[in-house]
Every structure is written in C-alpha cells, then in structure tokens.
Structure 1
Amino acid sequence: MRAVNHTIRNRAKLTGWLFIAGAVLMICLFYFYPMIQALLLSFKTGAGANLHFDGLANYKRLLSDKTFFTAVKNTFLFLIVQVPVMIVFAMMISVLLNDSKLRFKGFFRTAIFLPCVTSLVAYSVVFKYLFGNDGLINLALLNMHILSEPIQWISDPFWAKVTIIIAITWRWTGYNMIFFLSSLQNIDSSIYEAARIDGASGPRQFFSITVPLLKPIILFTSITSTIGTLQLFDEIMNITKGGPGNATLSISQYIYNLSFKYTPDFGYAATVSYSIVIMIIVLAFLQIKLAGDDK
C-alpha cells in the first residue's frame, strides 16, 4: 500500500513539473539566458561585433565616464522629484475616489487611469507639441496674461526637465492610483466610524489610519516607480532626445546611444545596463529598510 501511495505521489509531482516545464523553459530562455549573456558581454570590448574579452576595462571606464555620470545625475533628479510627487498624488486621488458620496466614480477612475494605457510614443509626441514654443500650453498662458513671453519648455535645460517630470507624472499617477484604491477598499469602514465617534478629523484619520494601513502599497509603488524611472527612455527620446545638450539624458538613452547612435559598443553598453541593476538592488534594499519591513 505504501509503495502504491509513493508511486501516486511521484506521478502527481511529475505531472506538476510537466505543467510548469514550458513556462520554466521560456523564462530561462528569454530572461535568464539574455541576462547571463549581457553580464558576459560587459567584460568584452571592441567595436560592433568585433569583441574580445578585456576583464574589468569597461567597469574602469565607467568610473571615469562624465557622460554616464551626467545621465545618472539627470535620472536621479527625475527619481527624487517625480516619484514622491506621483505617489502623493496617487494616494490623495485614490482617497477622494474611494468616498462613497462621490458621484460618477467609475468615470473619474477610468479617466485618471486612461493615460497609462496610451502608447508611450504617441503621448510623448503629443506632449512635445503641447509644450513647444508655440504649443497650446504657451498659448494658453500668454492669453491668460500669466506670461509675457513663451517658456522654452524643450530648449531650456531647466524647463526641459520640468516637462519630462510633468509627462511622467501625468502618465503613471493613474497606474499607481489603482493599487492604492484597491487597498483602500479592503480597509474595514468600521475603523473610520470608530475614529469619527472619537472625534478624529478627516486629516487626522488620513495620517493616523489611512497612511499606516497603506504602508505596504506605498513601499510597493515606490519600488516599482523607482525601477521604472531608472529605466526611463521613451519620454526622453521622443520629447527632448536627451537635450538640450545632455540636460535630460537618461541612463537608458545613454545605453541606446552607445549601442545604436555612436560607434556600436555593445560591451560597454552592457556594463552601463548592469549599473542600473546594481542601482535598483541598492535602492530597493534601502526603501525596504527605511520602511521598516522585516519580512
């Protein structure tokens, strides 16, 4: 009897492995194999396909690459400014949309979420024309007599950064809002009723109840937004092309330039790519520690 049960259990395990074998194979083939190949490529130097193993030469070059550090500085500026603003907006909007007294909630939720399902290229091109020197934004501000002359949204280093931050915030706030909204709907309403009975005001309820209960979602959205910002490419490429000069150059665009715009240097591009991996690991670890999540 034991032998029969053992055989049945082995067959069940084999069946389970057969079900997931295809998915495991595809993940290994399209995820882990390219990652390993990119890591090996980062130790090679040469133009185009004429590559040869050169040890840590690319990593030494990375530490003295001024363009790389400019791209890192720009990317971290977007990260430090845009991610907290977006998370706060997403949280506040989700709280408003979770109000049972609000009418047409479905319409507002759809309208705010809609930007994140639009084409990255299409919306970037639209923003480029909206914020052009003779674009709709400047025309509106001039007609309202807020400005006396157009703002150089694309050609001025400071305003180009502002344009990118506005574009990213517009697109991804609704995406993060969905996570906060789903979490808010799982909070027992009796907690807020008890707080109101105790005389807690709306702001006090928000900071003492809502924010602590949303802590896992805040951590999750912060980490995913950090990863997304470190990989920022489409908006930069289509709105400012990294300009003016290198004022809005991101790390991902620099990788693209190394691979396809300049003389192809795939080995060094792979090295820069792995710098993003290291940054993501370090920042995610710091965010988890700062959030006090010991799990």
Structure 2
Amino acid sequence: MSIKRIWKEYKVAYVYIAPFFILFAIFGLFPIAYGFYLSFFRWDGLSAMHFVAFTNYINICRDPLFWKALYNTLLIGIIAHIPILLGGLTLAFVLNAKLVRGKNLFKTVYFMPMVTSSVAISIVFQQMFGNNYGVINWFVSLLGGEKVNWLGGDGSLIKVAVICMFAWKWTGWNMVIYLAGMQGISGDIYEAAQIDGAGQAQIFFRICIRLLKPIIIFTVIQSTIGMFN
C-alpha cells in the first residue's frame, strides 16, 4: 500500500470524525476557555469589561460560603459513594449470578433514575422529605415519633436527603457498568472457582472485585464528576 493511498484513507477517516470535534470545540471547549478568560474580568454582562487579574480568585478564596459549599459537596459525595459503589456491585453480582428472575426488568427499574429529569427527581424527593406532608414524616408519625424538619432548621439534615437522592440516581448506572464488566469475565473462571469449592461471597470478593478494578476506578471518576455537577 502506497503512502499516498494511506494518507487518502486517513483523510477520509478524519472527515467522518470531524463533526464530533467541531461540535465539541463549539459547545464544549470554547465555553470552558471563554469562561476561564472571563474570570480575569469584572463584568455584569451589559457594561464594559474591566480587567481585574486574579482579584476574583482572591475574593472567592476569602469567602467563607465558598469553603462551606465545597466542604458540603465533598462530604455528601464521599458518603454517597459508599452505597453507590457497594450497592451497584452487589446488584450487578446478583443479576450476573442469576440469583433472581426477570433480570431485564430489574436492570430497567434500577437504570430508570439516570434517564429521569432532574427537576422531576427534585420534586419527588421534596415530597418524600417534606415537613408537613412528606412520606417519610408520615411513616414517622404512624410509629408515634415527632416530625423531622428535613429541609429546614440549621440545614444539617438536608445532607441526608441529598445523599439519598444522589445514591438513588447513580447506583443503577454503576450497576449496569459493573454487570457489563462481570459478563466480560470468562465463565471458565467462575466454573473453576465453583469446582474448587468457592462460595458466592468468595467469588464476589476474590474474583469479581479484583478483576473489576479498572471499571471501579472509572465509575468513581464518573460519580465524582456528577457530584461536583
């Protein structure tokens, strides 16, 4: 194959992938670069722009609300990652081991939160954790307890609601990815482990988790991005 022909095939390939890079440059790369550029100016969007260098960064580092918001984000994300990772791994293993029937139904039900509108999810969780008419407080009242002000007070209990919502949304996503990874593991490994007398718990911890380490790292990164978003 001549060099001229190889170059021609490369140009055809670049033509096919060009739409993605063009759209990414316009709607992905440009907003990031322009936003970074604007961070060195004081501008209200209407009047003239004034260059202030690093003043905006200095002001935000001096703002206690910024550090409080960052602390809350990290705290919620770290705690929520526990049920997200463990729940996703457990559900994927149960479905992969065929311990339950209707696997496709369970995958659809657990993946549904990922395709649900964020606005709809917020409304549902507000109704669940509402002070006067919330579903959770209704159950608490049935058990003889006092209503809990989840969304008010000093704001400390709001973290519980956000963690529940965050975990509920991302667990199904991780489950599907882990399930795909487990199905990529050769069935001979599972059969060999069962012949050697390994139980489901040993297969889960000594085979699945060890072989899924790259996928687990990927899901942690994805969940972290979602946390900050």
Q: Which residue of 1 aligns with 2:202?
A: 204
Aligned counterparts of 2:84 and 2:14: Cα–Cα separation in 1: 42
| Structure 1 residues 150 and 191, CA gap change in structure 2 (3 angstroms) | same
Partner of 1:25: 22
Letter in 2 for 1:159: L
Aligned match for 2:54, one of 56, 65, 90: 56
SS in 1 for 2:197: coil
Q: Which residue of 2 aligns with 1:140?
A: 139
One-letter code aligned to 2:42: T
TM-score by length of 1: 0.72
Q: Which amino acid aligns with 2:140?
A: L
Q: Shift of residue 74 of structure 1?
A: 0.7
Q: Could you tell me which amino acid in structure 2 is paired with residue 148 of structure 1?
A: G
Does 2:21 correspond to 1:14? Answer: no
For residue 77 of structure 1, what is the aligned residue in structure 2? 75
Contact residue 140 and residue 146 of structure 2 kept, 8 A: no
Query: Match of 2:170?
Result: 172
Question: Could you tell me how far 1:6 is from its partner in structure 2?
Answer: 4.2
* RMSD of Structure 2 on Structure 1 (CA): 1.8
The residue identity in structure 1 corresponding to 2:161 is T
* Deviation readout 1:263-284 (Å, 9 max, x if unpaired): xxxxxxxxxxxxxxxxxxxxxx
Shift, 1:102, TM fit: 2.1
Aligned counterparts of 1:34 and 1:130: Cα–Cα separation in 2: 37
In the alignment, the residues of structure 1 paired with residue 109 and residue 19 of structure 2 have an alpha-carbon distance, to the nearest angstrom, of: 38
Match of residue 240 from structure 1: none
Distance 1:27 1:139, change over 3 A: same
Deviation readout 1:64-100 (Å, 9 max, x if unpaired): 1111101101100111100122111110011111123
Give the SS at the match of 1:158.
coil
Q: Alpha-carbon deviation of 1:222?
A: 0.3
2:34 maps to 37
> Taking every aligned residue pair, what percent have the same amino acid on both sides?
35
Does the 8 Å CA contact 2:77/2:163 hold for their aligned counterparts?
no
Structure 1, unmatched stretches of 5+, are 232-295
TM-score (norm 2): 0.91
User: How far apart are residue 15 of structure 1 and its match?
Assistant: 2.8
Q: Distance in 2 between matches of 1:136 and 1:61?
A: 42
Per-residue Cα deviation, 1:25-56 (whole angstroms, up to 9, x for no partner) = 22222222221111110111243433211111
- The CA deviation at 1:101 is 4.4
The separation in 1 between residues aligned to 2:39 and 2:85, in whole angstroms, is 35
Greater RCO, 1 or 2 (C-alpha within 8 Å, sep 6+): 1
Alignment of 1:67 with 2:40, yes or no, is: no
Q: Where do 1:1-295 residues align within 5 Å?
A: 5-50=2-47, 51-133=49-131, 134-143=133-142, 145=143, 147-156=144-153, 157-231=155-229
Code of the aligned partner of 2:34: Q
- Specify every segment of 5 or more residues in structure 2 that has no aligned partner in the other structure, as ranges: none
1:139 counterpart letter in structure 2: W
Q: How far apart, CA to CA, are the structure 1 residues paired with 2:212 and 2:51?
A: 49
